[in-house]
Amino acid sequence: MAAFTLWWQMHAWRTPEVLASTRFSSPDGGEHLSFSLLLPARHEQAVLDHTIQRLLESSHTDFEIIVIVGHDDPETTEVACEAAERDPRVRVVVDTHEKKNKPRAMNTALPHCRGDVVGVFDAEDQVHPELLAHVDHAFRSTDADVVQGGVQLINFNSSWYSLRNCLEYFFWFRSRLHLHAQKGFIPLGGNTVFVRTDVLRAADGWDPDCLAEDCDLGVRLSSIGKKVVVAYDSDMVTKEETPGSLMSLLKQRTRWNQGFLQVYRKKDWKQLPGFGQRLLARYTLMTPYLQAISGVIIPLNVAVALFLDVPVGIAFITFLPAVTAFVTFVFELVGLHDFGKQYGLRVRFVHYLKLIVGGPFYQVLLAGAAVRAVWREQQGRNDWELTSHVGAHLTDVGAARALEATEATEAAAVATRGSREDVPA
Amino acid sequence: MTSTLPAVTTPKVPAQRTPVPKTGSTPRTTPLPSRLRTSRADLILCGVLLVVVMTVQGWNIADYPALSDDEGTYLAQAWSVQQGNGLAHYTYWYDHPPLGWIQIALLTWIPSLISPESMTVGSMRIVMLLVSAISAVLVYVVARRLWLPRWAAGLAMLLFGLSPLSVVLQREIFLDNIAVMWTLVAFCLAASPSRHLWHHFGAGIAAAAAVLTKETMIFVLPAVMITMWRHSHRDTRKFALTGAITACVLIGMSYPLFALLKGELFPGGGHVSLWDGLEYQLTRPGSGFILDQGSGSYGVLQSWLYYDRVLPLGGLAGALLLLVTWRWSVTARALAGPAFTVAILALVALRPTGYLPAMYVIQALPFLALVLAGGAASVAHGVLRRWRSTDEREFVTRARYAVAALLVAASAAYVVPRWYDGDRTAVTADANAPYRAASKWLATEVDHPEDTRVLVDDALWLDLVHAGYEPGLGVIWFYKADLDPAVTKTMPGGWRDIDYVVASPTVRRDAADLPNVKQAMRHSTPVATFGKGPDRIEIRQVRGGSTASTASTTGTADTADEATTGGDR
C-alpha cells in the first residue's frame, strides 16, 4: 500500500519526458475563450479586495469576476460591491441559502456566468496574471473539458506541520494528480479549476450536500468520460497558505476525509469503464483510512520483529512496510529540496530536520482526522439528516475562519487563514 | 477520456539516446535502434556470439579446471539450504553474506530434484553456464547502452566470453560470477535509455544484490553511480540517484538486520557474529604487494597472466588510456563507468598489505572487456574518421583503411593463437580424474560409510554425502576438525577419532596450520593414490592410536601450486 502511494507520488519524475509533459505549454497569443471566475467569499473582507485586484491584473482580455457573498455577511458584501463599482468586470451575486456552504454558493452563481469557461478561486488566492492565457491555450490545444491548474502552499517555514502540508501539496499537484488525469479518474482540487460552462451546467453544477464537492465534481465528470487536463508550472501556481492552527488543519482534514467517504458512497465512480480505474478510484477515496491504519501498523510491526520471538523470515516481512515508509521519507526530503529550488525558497538544514522529526506526528494528525471523519460520518448516518450535520460542521469551521479573519485584519493584508483549500492530499 | 498535456515541451528535453557528449567531433556511433530487443542486427549478432561463447565455456566444463575447494564450500552450503538445514551444515559464521549460495541453491534446485546425486561440484558447474550466458548478453547490452558501435559491443562480448582466463574462472561455482551478473544488471539499468526512475531504483537493488552476493563488489558501487549520473537527466537526476542509493542501502541493510534478528550482530559469549565475521575478513593476513616478486599476491597475478595477458593487461592499459583522454574522447566519457571500475579494482589490488583472493579478477573481467572494446572503438575512430573532410583525397582514405586492416591483422595474429591454445586446453583437458577416482574409491571400497569419519576438502564433500557418509560429522570439512567447536567436541581423541584423510592439494597445504589434521596426516598411510606429483590425491587411512606409521613424510610441504589454489574461504 505504501509502495503504491510511493509509486504514484513519484509519477511525474519517472522520466524526463513525463516531467516535461506535466507543464503548461506556452500560449500562442491567440485568446478565444471567455472566462467567468467564481470567487466565493465568506467573512473574508480583509483579503477579498486584494485578491480581486490581482485577478483584474490578468493579461487575458475576456473575463468576468463573480464574487459570491452571503446575505448575512454585510462586511464582505460591502467590499465586493465597492470593487464592482470600480470595475465593470466585477459582479456580485448574493447567496440567500439558509445553510451556507461553498457548493451552494457556486451553484447560485452558475446561472449568472456568461463566459465559455467557469473558473473557481478562493478569496485568499494569489493568482498569477498569466494563468488565464495559459489555461485558454490548454483548453484549445488539448480539447479538454476541464483544466486543473496547480495550487501550492508556500509558507513552509511558519510551523512544523505547514512544512509537511506544503510538501503534500507539492507532491499532489506536481505529480500524483497527473497520474490521475492519465488514468482517467481524477478528484479535482477546490480552486484554480476550470470547467467548460456547458459541461458544468449539464452536470448540474456542484453537489450542494457534499463536503468535498470539488472531488465529487471531478469524479462525476471523469466517470462520464470528460477529458481532464492537469498542468503544473511552478511560476503559474495559485499560492495559498496553510491553515492557521493545528486545530483548523485537523478540521480541514476531517472535512476532506468525510467528503471522500461521501463521494465513495455516492458510487458515481462505479461508472468508470476500466477495472483498473475503478480500483484506483476505490483506493484513492479510501486513502485516508488506509493511511490511518498504516500509521499504527508500521511501528507495531517493527516492535513485533525486534522484541517478540518470531522466526527470522516472518520478522523480515514485518519490516517491509517500514522499508517503503523509509523510501517515501527519503523521497520527501529530495522533494523538499526540489520544492525549494522551484520556488526559489531557501530550505535550510533545520527544515529537513523538521520534516523528519515531524513525520510521525503528522501521521498521528492524519490518523486522528481519519478517525474523526469516520466517527462523524457514522453519526451523520445514524440521524439520517446528513445535511444538517454537515451544516453544523461547516458553521463550526466557518466560525473558526471568522476568528482567524479578525486576527488577520490586525495583521493587515497578510493572508493568514485557510481551511477552504479543497485539495485532498 | 482524460490525459495529461501532450508533451509539447519536448524540445526542452534532449532527445533520448542522443549521445551525451556535446564536444568532440563527428558522431561516431551508429544510432541506437529505438529498442535493442527489436533490432534484428543486434539480436542476430548477440545470439551468434552467445552460441560461440557458450560452446567454448560449456564443453568439458566438469573436467576442467580442477575442482576448487571454494566451489565445494558454496555448493555444499547451497545443498544445505535446499535441504532446509539453514544457511550452512556447519554453523554459519558470517564469512560471506549468504545471498550467493541461496542463489546457487535456487539455480541447482530443479536439477537436484530430478537427480539428487548430481548435486556435486563437477556436474553442477553446468548451472554456471546460465550465469555466464546472462552476463555475456549483459556485456553486449551495456556496451550498446554506453553508445559503443555494434561491432565493438560484439568484441566486448567475445573478449569477455572467450578469454582463457574468463573460460577457466567463469566455469567455476564462484560467488563472484553471480555477483558480476548482478553488477552488470545494475550497469544496464543505470544506463537505461528511457531514464526511468524505477530503472534507477532497480539499479540500486541489483547493486545491493551484487554486494550481498560477494561483498567485494562494494568497490564497484561508485562506478555504477557515475554511470547513472551521466545517463540521468538534469531535471530528474536527484530523484533517480536518491532512489538508487536508498534502494541499495535498504537492501544492503537486510544483512545486518538478519544478524540483528538472530541476535548475532555483535560479538558475545557462545555465538558467532557478523562483527566477528567482518573482523576476520578485514584482518586476514595480507598476501603482500602484488608487484613484489615472491609475495602471495604476485603469485596470484602470475596465475591470471598464465591463462591470459591480453584481457587483464590490455584492459588495464585501455582503462588508463580512457581516463587520460577523458577530455578529448567521446568514447572515454561514455565508458567512464567501466574505466573507473577497472581503475578502482586495480588500486584495491595494489594495496600493499591486503589479501588478494584468486578469484578477485573475476569482478573486473566484464569491465576489462568493455574498456578494451571501447579503446578499440576509439582507435578505429581515430584511424578512420578523425580530421576527415568530405573532400578527402581517395588515397588518404585508402591509407586509413589499410592502417585499420593492418591493426586488426596484427592484433588478431597476437591474440588468436594464444587464446586458441588456452581454450583448447579448456575444452579437452581432464583435470579432475583423480577427484572422480577418489570419490569412487571411497564410495565402493569402504564397508560402512555411515559409521566412517573422513576428513575431506570441500570439493569432495557432497560426493561422499551422496555415497552415504553422515554429513557434517561423518564426512568432515577438514579444517572444521580444528576450527569448529561443534565438531571438535565430537572428537575427544583428536586424530584418533578419524578413519580416513583424503589428502588433496588443498588439505596438504593447509594442514600445516591445523593441528588435528596435521596429526591425522602424520598418523596415516596412503591406501590409494590417484594422479601424480603435487596434484595427486591420496586416501590415507589413520592407524588407530599407533605412532608407528610416521613413514608418511610425503605430507605437509606441498605448497608448489599455492598460487592457483589460493582459497577465499
DSSP state letters, A29-67: S-----EEEEEE-SS-HHHHHHHHHHHHT-S-SSEEEEE
**Of the partner residues A15, A21, A312, the one whose CB lies closest to the CB of residue B196:** A15
Please tell me the total count of domains within chain B: 2
Q: Residues of chain B whose C-beta is under 8 A from some C-beta in A? A: 1-10, 12-13, 16, 194-198, 233, 235-236, 238-240, 242-243, 246-247, 250, 254, 257-258, 260-262
Confirm whether B83 is domain-assigned: no
A211 and A291 assigned to the same domain? no
Tell me which of A172-181, B34-43, B114-123 is least confident. Answer: B34-43
- Quote the DSSP letter at residue B93: -
Q: Is B205 inside any structural domain?
A: yes
Q: Residue A258 falls within a domain, yes or no?
A: no
* Residue numbers of A between 90 and 129 with CB closer than 8 Å to B: none
Q: What pLDDT is recorded for position B161?
A: 94
Residue B131 pLDDT exceeds 90: yes
- pLDDT score of A3: 65
Domain total for chain A?
A: 2
Average pLDDT on B46-57 reads 94
A20-24, A216-220, B61-65, B198-202: least confident range: A20-24
Q: Does A215 share its domain with A362?
A: no
Tell me the nearest-neighbour CA distance from B85 into chain A, angstroms: 14
Measured in angstroms, the CA of A199 and the nearest CA of chain B are apart by 14
CB contact under 8 A, B3 and A326: no
Contact call for residues B19 and B29 (beta carbons, < 8 A): yes
B236 with A19: Cβ contact below 8 A: yes
A352 touches B: beta carbon within 8 Å = no
Cell of A138: 490548454
H helices of B83-233, where?
Answer: 99-107, 109-114, 121-124, 126-145, 150-162, 164-171, 175-190, 197-213, 221-231
Q: Using CB atoms, pick whichever of B9, B242, B261 lies closest to residue A334.
A: B242
Distance CA B174, CA B191 (A): 27
The backbone torsions φ and ψ at residue B17, rounded to the nearest 5 degrees and listed phi first, read: 65, 5
What is the phi/psi pair of residue B214, to 5°?
-145, 115
pLDDT computed for residue A1 by the predictor:
58
Please state the rounded mean pLDDT for residues B208-220.
92
In a domain, B383, yes or no: yes
Each residue of B502-543: pLDDT tens digit? 998 889 888 888 888 999 999 999 999 998 888 889 999 998
Span B31-53, mean pLDDT? 81
Report if residue A163 sits inside a domain: yes
Q: How far apart (Å, rounded) are the C-alpha atoms in residues B177 and B161?
A: 12
Closest-approach residue (CA) in chain B for A332? B239
| DSSP-derived secondary structure letter, A188 | P
What are the phi and psi torsion angles at A301 (to 5°)? -60, -50
Of the three residues B428, B444, B464, the one that is the final residue of a domain is B428
Name the 3-class secondary structure at B529.
strand
CB atoms within 10 A of CB B118: 15
Residue B222 pLDDT: 93
- What is the reported pLDDT for A155? 82
Both B345 and B223 in one domain: the answer is: yes
pLDDT tens for B440-498 read 999 988 888 888 899 998 888 999 898 889 888 889 988 888 888 888 888 888 888 88
- Residue B281 pLDDT level (bands cut at 50, 70, 90): confident
Q: Round to whole Å and give the CA distance between A17 and A20.
A: 5
CA neighbor of A249 nearest in space, from A382, A106, A358, A388: A358
Q: What is the DSSP string of A84-145?
A: HHH-TTEEEEEE--SS--HHHHHHHHGGG--SSEEEE--TT-B--TTHHHHHHHHHHHHT-S
Nearest neighbour of A181 by CB, restricted to B3, B13, B233: B3
Q: Which of B408, B428, B448 is the last residue of a domain?
A: B428
State whether residue A343 sits within 8 Å of chain B by CB.
no
Place of cell 492565457: A133
B401 and B469 both lie in a single domain: no
Q: Are residues A159 and A212 in the same domain?
A: yes
φ and ψ of A77, to 5 deg: -60, -40
Residues B558, B504 within the same domain: yes
Residue B526 CA, chain-centre distance (Å), reads: 35
Select from B481, B478, B475 the least CA-distant residue to B504. B478
Average pLDDT of chain B is: 84
What pLDDT was estimated at residue B558?
38
A341 to chain B: nearest residue by CA? B235
Residues A135 and A183 in one domain: yes
Among the partner residues B198, B250, B261, nearest to A326 by beta-carbon distance:
B250
For residue B23, what pLDDT is reported? 34
Q: What is the pLDDT at residue B561?
A: 36
Extract the C-alpha cell encoding A425. 492530499
B166 pLDDT higher than 80:
yes
Residue of B nearest to A135 (CA): B5
Residue A180 has pLDDT above 80, yes or no: yes
* pLDDT value at residue B245: 92
Residue A388 pLDDT > 60: no
Which domain range does residue A292 map to?
275-410
d(CA A267, CA B263): 51
Is B10's CB within 8 Å of A15's CB?
no
Using the Cβ of A187 and the Cβ atoms of chain B, whether some distance falls under 8 Å is answered with: no
Quick one: pLDDT at residue B155? 95
* A343 & A211 share domain: no
Lowest mean pLDDT among A17-26, B74-83, B276-285, B471-480: A17-26
pLDDT band at A323 (very low <50, low <70, confident <90, very high): confident
Q: What is the rounded average pLDDT of the residues B342-354?
A: 88
Q: Which three cell numbers stand for residue A134?
A: 495559459
Which chain A residues contact residue B258 at CB under 8 A?
Answer: 312, 316
- What is the dihedral sign for C-alpha B332, B333, B336, B337? negative
CA of A4, closest CA in chain B: separation in Å?
Answer: 13
**Residue A327: pLDDT band by 50, 70, 90 thresholds?**
confident
pLDDT for the residue A59: 86
- Residue pair A67/A108 in contact (Cβ under 8 Å)? The answer is no
Cβ neighbours for A74, distance < 8 A, ≥ 6 positions apart: none
Which residues on B lie below 8 Å from A7 (Cβ)?
A: 198
pLDDT at position B569: 44
Q: Which residue of B has its CA nearest to A322?
A: B250
Q: Is residue B309 part of a domain?
A: yes
Q: What is the pLDDT of residues A351-362, one digit of tens each?
A: 888 888 888 888
The predicted-structure confidence for B236-261, as pLDDT tens digits, reads as follows: 888 889 989 999 998 898 888 888 88
- Is A224 or B213 the better-scoring residue by pLDDT? B213
The verdict on residue A270 lying in a domain is no
Q: What is the Cα–Cα distance from A74 to A252, expressed in whole angstroms?
A: 25
pLDDT, one tens digit per residue, over B359-380 is 899 999 999 999 999 989 888 8
Does residue A325 lie within any of the structural domains?
yes
Cβ burial B371-406 (10 Å sphere, 16+ → b, else e) = bbbbbbbbbbbbbeeeeeeeeeeeeeeeebeeeeee
Distance CA(B98)–CA(B211), nearest Å, equals 11
**pLDDT tens digits, residue range A112-144?**
888 899 999 988 888 888 888 889 888 888 888
In this predicted structure, the answer to whether residue B3 has a pLDDT above a threshold of 60 is no
| Choice between B332 and A401, residue whose per-residue pLDDT is larger | B332
Residue of A nearest to B12 (CA): A20
Residue A222 sits in the same domain as residue A370: no
pLDDT of residue B546: 38
Looking at A225, A245, A265, the residue that finishes a domain is A245
- B186's CB contacts (< 8 A; 6+ apart) are B203, B204, B206, B207, B210, B224
pLDDT given for residue B563 in this prediction: 36
Same domain, B244 and B387: yes
CB B453 within 8 A of CB B498: yes
Q: What is the DSSP string of A362-374?
A: HHHHHHHHHHHHH
Least confident of A283-292, B13-22, B178-187, B343-352: B13-22
Q: Do B262 and A312 touch (CB under 8 A)?
A: yes
Among A7, A21, A170, A284, most B C-beta atoms within 10 A, so best to mutate, is A21
Please check whether residue B62 is in contact with residue B71, taking contact to mean a CB–CB distance below 8 angstroms: no
Q: Are residues B343 and B456 in the same domain?
A: no
- Evaluate if residue B24 carries a pLDDT over 50: no
Q: A208 and A77, same structural domain?
A: yes
Average pLDDT of the segment spanning A331-343 = 88
Instruction: Determine which of A7, A9, A13, A228 to mutate to test the interface with B (most B C-beta atoms within 10 Å).
Output: A13
- Are A200 and A156 found together in one domain? yes
The β-bridge partners of A37 are: A65, A119
* Contact between B264 and B276 (Cβ < 8 Å): no
Asked if residue B342 is part of any domain, the answer here is yes
Say whether both B558 and B477 belong to one domain.
yes
pLDDT at A103 over 80: yes
Average pLDDT over residues A353-378: 83
Shared-domain flag, residues B441 and B375: no
Cβ partners under 8 Å of residue B17, min gap 6: B31, B32, B193
For the cut 60, the answer to whether the pLDDT of residue B71 exceeds it is yes
B7 vs A20: CB contact, 8 Å cut-off?
yes
CA A126 – CA A145 distance, rounded (Å): 24
CA distance B281 to chain A (A): 25
Query: Which of B404, B428, B452 is the C-terminal boundary of a domain?
Result: B428
Q: What's the confidence (pLDDT) of residue B99?
A: 92
A283-287, B458-462, B561-565: range with lowest mean pLDDT: B561-565
Give the pLDDT score at A5: 67
Residues of chain B neighbouring A185 (CB-CB closer than 8 A) = 2
pLDDT at A95: 87
- β-strands B524-530, B537-542 pairing: antiparallel
Q: What stretches of B374-516 adopt beta strand conformation (E)?
A: 454-456, 475-477, 500-503
- Looking only at the bridges linking them, the beta strands covering A146-148 and A228-230 are parallel
Tell me which chain B residue has its CA closest to the CA of residue A273. B1
User: Does residue B350 lie within any of the structural domains?
Assistant: yes
Choice among A318-327, B24-33, B227-236 with the minimum mean pLDDT: B24-33
- Residue ending a domain, among A228, A245, A262, is A245
In this structure, what DSSP letter does residue B503 have? E
Q: CA of B257 to nearest chain A CA: how many angstroms apart?
A: 8
Q: Which residues contact A265 (CB under 8 A, 6 or more apart)?
A: none
Question: What chain B residue is nearest to A138 in terms of C-alpha separation?
Answer: B5
Q: Which of A62, A38, A34, A71 is nearest to A52 (CA)?
A: A38
Q: Are residues B341 and B457 in the same domain?
A: no
Q: Which of B3, B194, B242 to mutate to test the interface with A (most CBs of A within 10 A)?
A: B3
Helix (H, G, I), strand (E, B) or coil at A4: helix
* Cross-chain Cβ contact A25/B262 below 8 Å: no
Residues in chain B within 8 Å Cβ distance of A312: 258, 261-262
Residues B316-322: contacts with CB within 8 Å, 24+ apart? B316/B342, B316/B346, B316/B368, B317/B375, B318/B368, B318/B371, B318/B372, B318/B374, B318/B375, B319/B343, B319/B346, B319/B367, B319/B368, B319/B371, B321/B375, B321/B378, B322/B371, B322/B374, B322/B375, B322/B378
- CA B501 to CA B455: how far, in whole Å? 5
Cell numbers standing for residue B33: 535502434
Q: Does A404 score more than 70 pLDDT?
A: no
What percent of chain B clears pLDDT 70, i.e. is strictly above it?
A: 89
User: Which residues between 35 and 94 in chain A have a beta carbon less than 8 angstroms from any beta carbon of chain B?
Assistant: none
Same domain, yes or no: A287 and A236: no
In the numeric block, the cell 520478522 is attached to A315
Mean pLDDT of chain A: 79
Give the structural domain span for B462: 433-565
CA-nearest of B196, B179, B198 to B138 is B179
Percentage of chain A surpassing pLDDT 90? 6
The secondary structure element, H or E, covering residue A194 is: strand A193-196
- Residues A176, A179, A183, A189: is their CA dihedral positive or negative? positive
Q: How confident is the model at residue B549 (pLDDT cuts 50, 70, 90)?
A: very low
- A238: distance to nearest CA of chain B, Å? 19
How many angstroms separate the Cα of B267 from the Cα of each of B270, B277, B281, B285, B449? Answer: 9, 9, 15, 21, 38
What is the residue whose three cell numbers read 524505477?
B198
Same domain flag for B293 and B231 = yes
Which CATH number belongs to the domain containing residue A238 in this structure? 3.90.550.10
Q: Do B354 and B472 fall into the same domain?
A: no
Residue range B265-270: average pLDDT? 80
3-state secondary structure of A177: helix
Judge whether A269 lies within some domain.
no
Most confident of A174-178, A239-243, B53-57: B53-57
Question: Which of B2, B3, B250 lies closest to A323 in CB terms?
Answer: B250
Contact A21 B198 (CB under 8 A): no
Q: Is residue A253 part of a domain?
A: no
Mean pLDDT of B191-215: 91
Same domain, B198 and B260: yes
What cell does A409 get? Answer: 485584519
Distance of alpha carbon A417 from the chain centroid: 15
Enter the ipTM. Answer: 0.73
Which chain A residues are within 8 Å of B92, Cβ to Cβ?
none
**Does residue B47 sit within a domain?**
yes
Residue A281 placed within a domain: yes
Q: Report residue B229 CA to chain centroid gap.
A: 26
- Tell whether A4 is covered by a domain: no
Q: Report if residue B26 sits inside a domain.
A: no
Residue B312 and residue B348 in one domain: yes
Using the structure block, give the residue that is written with the C-alpha cell 570441500: B458
Closest approach of A281 to chain B, Cα-based (Å):
14
